[in-house]
C-alpha cells in the first residue's frame, strides 16, 4: 500500500472505530455487529504492527492496557478537586437557594441540575485535544496517576472530536459501572471462584486502581463528565452550555441533566429523578444543583473545602437494620431453590421491606445469616432486597442456623445440589408446579417436540387456568378447552391441535431433549439416542454406562441418573407414551466408517443449498460434531457466503476450510 493511502486507511480506521465506541459505550446504540467491529480493530492492529512509525497514543489500539505498575505516582491537582456539601431535607435546599439569591442579589436563580453519580471522581487532562493524563481525587489536592488504566475505558475519548481544541483542557467526571455490567462481572467472578464485588461503586474503584492495566481493560468501566476545572480557551456562559460543548467533543454527559429556575425547579427535579432512580442504567445517590451561569459561580466562590454555588441533595439511605424472623425457600421457574429471609418490617429505600433474598445456601453460610439475627438490608432497584451483612454484636443466644430442605417444598421431589455448584434444584422438572411453565415451553420448542403455536402466552393461559399440569396434558387438549381462551379463534385452536398430533411422531433424540434434563442439550441428547438406541435402555443406565457416551462426563451422567430416579418424572414419561408419543427404537445404528466420525466442524456464513440445521444434522448423523466457535480442537470450518470472524480465526489457526460441495463429498466418503 502506498504511503499516502496507508496513512489515509489508518486515519479512517481510527475514526471509524472511535465512532463505533461512541455509539456503543456512550449512546448505548451499536450500529454494527461485534464481528464487524472486531474486523476493523484487527485490521488497524495489523497495520500498526507492520508500520510501527504510525503508532499514536490516541489510537484505539492503545486501550488494551500496558505493563503492570509497581505503584501509582502522585499527581498534584492544579485546581483542587473539592467535594460538595450535602443536603438531606427540603429546608437545607431552601437555605442553599436563599444564600445563592442573596449572594447574587437576584430574586430567582437559574440552576443546572444533574444526577449525582455513585462512582469514583477523576480528572482528565487533554493537550490540544489529546488525552495525556488522568488522576483520582485523592485528598482533593493530590491524587493517584491512573492514566494507563483510564486509557482502557472506551467511553473516554483518547482524542476529542472536532478541529478547534484548546491547548489545555481539564475535565472532571465520574468513573462507574452500569448495573447490568455489574451483574455480568459478578457472574464472571463466581464462575472463576473469585470474591464477588459488594456494589458497582466498589467494583469501579477497585478496577480503576489496579496496578495492572490489563485487568482494568477487562472491567466494564464507563465515564461521565460533569465539569471543567481549567481551559486555555474561553468557556460558554453557562454550565448547561458547557456540558453540551463537552458532549460535542465526544465526552459522555448525563442525559438526565437539565436547567431549572428557583427552589421549586430544584425540588421538582429531585422528585422526578427520585421516581426514575430505579430505572436508570447506573446507581445514583442523589442529585447535584449548581448555579448555571459560570460568572455567577465565580462570584459566589468557595467556602472551606466546598463551593458556595453547588450542593448535593442526597436520597434516603437504601440500607437499614431489621431482624430475621424466618428463612423460607422459594422454587423458581428452572427449579432453583432460593432462601428468602422473612423480616420484621423496615422502611428502606422509600418502601417498607418484609422479605430479602439470600441467593443460595452457600451465600447464607458465607454471610452466616441465622433466624433471629439483626441484619443490614439493602434495597436497590425494582428487585427483592438483599441481606447485606449480619450485625454479629446483636446476635441472640437462640439464633438458629438455616438448613436447606432435602425435598422440594412445592412438589416433594428430591433436591439436588452438585458439589461444584452453588444452587440447589428441584429434580421434579416435568412434575413440579413451580417449574411448570418453563418445562412446557421447553417441551414444545422447535428443537424439542416442535409444537407450532404453543408459545409463551398460550402456555401462560393454560397453566393459569389449571388446564395443563404436565407435558402429558398437552395431548389431552381438545377444541373446547382451547377456544374458550383469550385471543384463541376456532381456526387457531384447530391448527394447534394438528401440530400436537403431528408431534407424536418424533425421534428419540428430540424426546430426550424435550424432557429438559439438566445439563443435557440437543447435541448430548443425540449422542444418548445413538448410544442407547431406546428410551428404556437410557432410563436403566447407570453412571458408569453413561460415561461411555461421547462427551458425557460425571456431571452430565449424574444429572441424567437423578432425573430418571425421580418417580414423578417417570410417571409423566409413562403418561406421554400412553398418549401415543412414538419414535423408532434402535436408532443407535453404529457408524461403521465415515470420514467425519470424531471430527469437529464449525459452520459459518450462508451455504448455497443447505441450511445450518440441515448441515448440522447430516454431520451428526455420521458421527461428527458441530461446535459453535473455532478453537484449536476444530478440525474443519465449513464456510458459505458472508463468512465472518470464524473464517478469519480458522485461517489464522491453519484449520482446513471446506465449502458446501467439499462437505457433501466428505459425507459420502
Return the CATH number at 616: 3.40.50.10190
Length of the chain: 669
One domain, residues 360 and 437: no
Residue 364's SS3 state is: helix
One domain, residues 183 and 250: yes
Q: Going by C-beta distance under 8 Å and a sequence separation of 6 or more, which residues neighbour residue 170?
A: 78, 79, 123, 124, 125, 126, 228, 229, 230, 231
Residue 321's SS3 state is: strand
Q: Which three cell numbers stand for residue 586?
A: 434402535
| Residue with the three cell numbers 461512541 | 22
One domain, residues 214 and 187: yes
Distance (Å, whole) CA 224 – CA 243: 10
Domain finish residue from 30, 64, 98:
64
Task: Give domain status of residue 73, yes or no.
Answer: no
CATH number assigned to the domain comprising residue 57: 1.10.287.610
Residue 123's pLDDT is: 95
Mean pLDDT of 308-335: 88
Q: How far is CA 153 from CA 169, 189, 453, 462, in A?
A: 19, 20, 46, 49
Distance between the two ends of the chain, CA-based, in angstroms?
Answer: 44
Band (pLDDT 50/70/90 cuts) for residue 70 is low
Residue 25's pLDDT is: 55
Q: Going by C-beta distance under 8 Å and a sequence separation of 6 or more, which residues neighbour residue 404?
A: 329, 337, 339, 361, 415, 417, 424
pLDDT per position as a tens digit, 447-485: 899 999 998 889 989 988 999 999 999 999 999 999 988
One domain, residues 514 and 580: yes
Distance (Å, whole) CA 236 – CA 244: 10
Q: State the pairing for strand pair 284-291/110-117.
A: antiparallel
Band (pLDDT 50/70/90 cuts) for residue 591 is very low
One domain, residues 482 and 542: yes
Mean pLDDT of 290-307: 90
Mean pLDDT of 501-511: 94
Element (H, E) at 356: strand 351-357
CATH number assigned to the domain comprising residue 419: 1.10.150.20
One domain, residues 255 and 121: yes
Task: Give domain status of residue 372, yes or no.
Answer: yes
Task: Give domain status of residue 74, yes or no.
Answer: no
Give the residue among 413, 414, 469 at the shortest CA–CA distance from 437.
469
| Residues 536, 537, 542, 548, CA torsion sign | negative
Q: Which three cell numbers stand for residue 27?
A: 449512546
One domain, residues 310 and 333: no
* 589, pLDDT greater than 50: no
Residue 378's SS3 state is: strand
Distance (Å, whole) CA 545 – CA 220: 44
Residue 587's pLDDT is: 47
- Burial-class residue 592 by CB neighbours within 10 Å (0-12, 13-18, 19+): exposed
Are residues 597 and 578 in contact, defined by beta-carbon separation less than 8 angstroms? no
Domain extent, residue 48, equals 3-64
CA 362-352-284 angle, 5° bins: 75
* Lowest mean per-residue pLDDT among 60-69, 364-373, 561-570: 60-69
CATH number assigned to the domain comprising residue 238: 3.30.470.30
Band (pLDDT 50/70/90 cuts) for residue 55 is confident
Task: Give domain status of residue 71, yes or no.
Answer: no
Task: Give domain status of residue 406, yes or no.
Answer: no
Domain finish residue from 554, 587, 620:
587
Give the residue among 232, 286, 229 at the shortest CA–CA distance from 254.
286
- State yes or no: is 649 an active-site residue: no
Residue 564's pLDDT is: 94
Q: Going by C-beta distance under 8 Å and a sequence separation of 6 or more, which residues neighbour residue 394?
A: 373, 374
Number of neighbours of residue 7 by Cβ within 10 angstroms: 13
Distance (Å, whole) CA 283 – CA 181: 12
One domain, residues 127 and 197: yes
Give the residue among 203, 152, 208 at the shortest CA–CA distance from 182.
203
Number of neighbours of residue 130 by Cβ within 10 angstroms: 15
Residue 359's pLDDT is: 87
SS3 sequence of 528-596: HHHHHCCHHHHHCCCHHHHCCCCCCCHHHHHHHHHHHHCHHHHHHHHHHHHCCCECCCCCCCCCCCCCC
Are residues 669 and 594 in contact, defined by beta-carbon separation less than 8 angstroms? yes
Q: Which of 116, 616, 625, 646 is catalytic?
A: 116
- Burial-class residue 652 by CB neighbours within 10 Å (0-12, 13-18, 19+): exposed
Q: Going by C-beta distance under 8 Å and a sequence separation of 6 or more, which residues neighbour residue 50?
A: none
Number of neighbours of residue 402 by Cβ within 10 angstroms: 19
Q: Which three cell numbers stand for residue 517?
A: 434434563
Provide the mean pLDDT of the chain. 88
* 513, pLDDT greater than 90: yes
Residue 108's SS3 state is: coil
What are residue 163's phi and psi, to 5 degrees?
-100, -40
One domain, residues 39 and 94: no
Q: How far is CA 397 from CA 322, 368, 389, 429, 521, in A?
A: 17, 14, 18, 40, 48
One domain, residues 149 and 291: yes
One domain, residues 379 and 432: no
> How does DSSP classify residue 251?
-
CA 47-216-145 angle, 5° bins: 95
Mean pLDDT of 335-358: 87
Half-sphere exposure of 617 (CA within 13 A, CB side): 9
Cα 531 versus chain centre, distance: 37
Residue 24's pLDDT is: 61
- Burial-class residue 507 by CB neighbours within 10 Å (0-12, 13-18, 19+): middle
* 428, pLDDT greater than 50: yes
Q: Which residues of 480-506 are buried (b: 16+ CB within 10 A; e: fewer)?
A: ebbeebeebeeeebeebbebbeebeeb
Residue 125's pLDDT is: 96
Domain finish residue from 401, 436, 452:
401
Q: How far is CA 325 from CA 231, 258, 305, 379, 396, in A?
A: 58, 45, 45, 18, 12
Q: How many distinct structural domains can be found in the chain? A: 5
Task: Give domain status of residue 285, yes or no.
Answer: yes
Task: Give domain status of residue 621, yes or no.
Answer: yes
> How does DSSP classify residue 266?
H
* 138, pLDDT greater than 60: yes
Band (pLDDT 50/70/90 cuts) for residue 160 is very high
Are residues 538 and 528 in contact, defined by beta-carbon separation less than 8 angstroms? yes
Of 13-17, 109-113, 560-564, the range with the highest mean pLDDT is 109-113
Task: Give domain status of residue 408, yes or no.
Answer: no
Give the residue among 221, 237, 387, 239 at the shortest CA–CA distance from 310.
239
pLDDT per position as a tens digit, 186-217: 888 888 888 778 778 888 888 888 888 888 88
pTM over 0.95: no
Mean pLDDT of 371-395: 81
Are residues 315 and 275 in contact, defined by beta-carbon separation less than 8 angstroms? no
Band (pLDDT 50/70/90 cuts) for residue 271 is very high
Mean pLDDT of 647-654: 89
Half-sphere exposure of 579 (CA within 13 A, CB side): 21
One domain, residues 607 and 576: no
* 575, pLDDT greater than 80: yes
CATH number assigned to the domain comprising residue 367: 2.40.50.140
> How does DSSP classify residue 22?
I
Beta bridge partners of 400: 371
Cα 425 versus chain centre, distance: 23
Amino acid at each position: 500500500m502506498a504511503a499516502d493511502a496507508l496513512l489515509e486507511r489508518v486515519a479512517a480506521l481510527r475514526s471509524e472505530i472511535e465512532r463505533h465506541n461512541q455509539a456503543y459505550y456512550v449512546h448505548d446504540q451499536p450500529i454494527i455487529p461485534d464481528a464487524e467491529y472486531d474486523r476493523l480493530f484487527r485490521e488497524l492492529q495489523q497495520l500498526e504492527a507492520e508500520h510501527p512509525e504510525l503508532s499514536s497514543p490516541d489510537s484505539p489500539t492503545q486501550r488494551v492496557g500496558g505493563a503492570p505498575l509497581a505503584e501509582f505516582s502522585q499527581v498534584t491537582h492544579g485546581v483542587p478537586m473539592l467535594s460538595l456539601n450535602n443536603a438531606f431535607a427540603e429546608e437545607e435546599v431552601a437555605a442553599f437557594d436563599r444564600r445563592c439569591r442573596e449572594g447574587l442579589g437576584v430574586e430567582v436563580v437559574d440552576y443546572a441540575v444533574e444526577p449525582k453519580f455513585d462512582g469514583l471522581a477523576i480528572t482528565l487532562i487533554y493537550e490540544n485535544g489529546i488525552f495525556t493524563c488522568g488522576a483520582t481525587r485523592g485528598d482533593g489536592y493530590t491524587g493517584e496517576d491512573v492514566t494507563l488504566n483510564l486509557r482502557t475505558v472506551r467511553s473516554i475519548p483518547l482524542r476529542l472530536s472536532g478541529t478547534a481544541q484548546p491547548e489545555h483542557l481539564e475535565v472532571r467526571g465520574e468513573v462507574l459501572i452500569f448495573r447490568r455490567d455489574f451483574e455480568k462481572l459478578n457472574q464472571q467472578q463466581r464462575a472463576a471462584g473469585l470474591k464477588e464485588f459488594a456494589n458497582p461503586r466498589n467494583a469501579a474503584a477497585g478496577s480503576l486502581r489496579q496496578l495492572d492495566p490489563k485487568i482494568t481493560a477487562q472491567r466494564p468501566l464507563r465515564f461521565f463528565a460533569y465539569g471543567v476545572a481549567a481551559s486555555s480557551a474561553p468557556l460558554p456562559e453557562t454550565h448547561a452550555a458547557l456540558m453540551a460543548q463537552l458532549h460535542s467533543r465526544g465526552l459522555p454527559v448525563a442525559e438526565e441533566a437539565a436547567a431549572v429556575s428557583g427552589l421549586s425547579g430544584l425540588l421538582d427535579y429531585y422528585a422526578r429523578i427520585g421516581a426514575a432512580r430505579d430505572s436508570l442504567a447506573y446507581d445514583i445517590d442523589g442529585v447535584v444543583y449548581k448555579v448555571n451561569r459560570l460568572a455567577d459561580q465565580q462570584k459566589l466562590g468557595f467556602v472551606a473545602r466546598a463551593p458556595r454555588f453547588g450542593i448535593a441533595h442526597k436520597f434516603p439511605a437504601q440500607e437499614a437494620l431489621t431482624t430475621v424472623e424466618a428463612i423460607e425457600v422459594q422454587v423458581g421457574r428452572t427449579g432453583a431453590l432460593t432462601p428468602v429471609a422473612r423480616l420484621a418490617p423496615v422502611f428502606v429505600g422509600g418502601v417498607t421491606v418484609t422479605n430479602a433474598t439470600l441467593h443460595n445456601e452457600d451465600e447464607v453460610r458465607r454471610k452466616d445469616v441465622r433466624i433471629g439475627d439483626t441484619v443490614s438490608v439493602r434495597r436497590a432497584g425494582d428487585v427483592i432486597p438483599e441481606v447485606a451483612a449480619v450485625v454479629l454484636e446483636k446476635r441472640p443466644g437462640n439464633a438458629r442456623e438455616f438448613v436447606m430442605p432435602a425435598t422440594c417444598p412445592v412438589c416433594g421431589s428430591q433436591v439436588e445440589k452438585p458439589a461444584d455448584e452453588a444452587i440447589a434444584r428441584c429434580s421434579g422438572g416435568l412434575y413440579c408446579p413451580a417449574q411448570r411453565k418453563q418445562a412446557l415451553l421447553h417441551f414444545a420448542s422447535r428443537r424439542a417436540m416442535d409444537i407450532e403455536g404453543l408459545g409463551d402466552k398460550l402456555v401462560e393461559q393454560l397453566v393459569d387456568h389449571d388446564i395443563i399440569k404436565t407435558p402429558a396434558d398437552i395431548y389431552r387438549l381438545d377444541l373446547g378447552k382451547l377456544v374458550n381462551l383469550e385471543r384463541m379463534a376456532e381456526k387457531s385452536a384447530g391448527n394447534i391441535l394438528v401440530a400436537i398430533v403431528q408431534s407424536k411422531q418424533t425421534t428419540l433424540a428430540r424426546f430426550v431433549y424435550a424432557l429438559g434434563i439438566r445439563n443435557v442439550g440437543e447435541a448430548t441428547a443425540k449422542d444418548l439416542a445413538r448410544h442407547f438406541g431406546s428410551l428404556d435402555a437410557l432410563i436403566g443406565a447407570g453412571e458408569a454406562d453413561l460415561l461411555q457416551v461421547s462427551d458425557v462426563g460425571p456431571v452430565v451422567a449424574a444429572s441424567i441418573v437423578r432425573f430418571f430416579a425421580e418417580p414423578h418424572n417417570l410417571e409423566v414419561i409413562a403418561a406421554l407414551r400412553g398418549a401415543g408419543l412414538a419414535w423408532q427404537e434402535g436408532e443407535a445404528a453404529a457408524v461403521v466408517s465415515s470420514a467425519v466420525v470424531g471430527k469437529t466442524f464449525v459452520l459459518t456464513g450462508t451455504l448455497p443449498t443447505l441450511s445450518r440445521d440441515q448441515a448440522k444434522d447430516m454431520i451428526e448423523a455420521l458421527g461428527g460434531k458441530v461446535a459453535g466457535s473455532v478453537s484449536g480442537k476444530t478440525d474443519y470450518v465449513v464456510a458459505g457466503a458472508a463468512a465472518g470472524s470464524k473464517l478469519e480465526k480458522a485461517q489464522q489457526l491453519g484449520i482446513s476450510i471446506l465449502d458446501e460441495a467439499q462437505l457433501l463429498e466428505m459425507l459420502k466418503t
